[in-house]
Amino acid sequence: MTYGSKKVAELVEKSGWSYPVSVSRLEREYALTNISIDKKGESMMLGELLAQGDIDRFEDEDDLYEKLEPLFEQERQQRSVGLIGKIKQLVLGTYTR
């Protein structure tokens, strides 16, 4: 299963685009595409992810990884809940898994 920046790079490749690729082009074509953010299968829409960063374009695949990986990592950390957090979610009724 492909996830994170690698999944976005695959979308660019699958589209047959060459770098540089603008963020607006990715948003126009793939804004509602769910992108897995981790091995567990957690996902978010590409448009949501791109809106979190101040990015205009990707010069090449390395640039894409360099700019997107911090956004994916931030999202992973926000979704990571420890044992105490899971207990709180269960008690408060907000546990969604």
Predicted confidence (pLDDT) per residue in 7-25, tens digit: 999 999 999 999 999 999 9
pTM: 0.72
What is the residue type of 2? T
When pLDDT is averaged across residues 70-79 and rounded to a whole number, the result is 82
- Cross-strand bridge partners of residue 35: 44
Q: Could you tell me if 80 and 57 are in contact, meaning their C-beta atoms sit under 8 angstroms apart? A: no
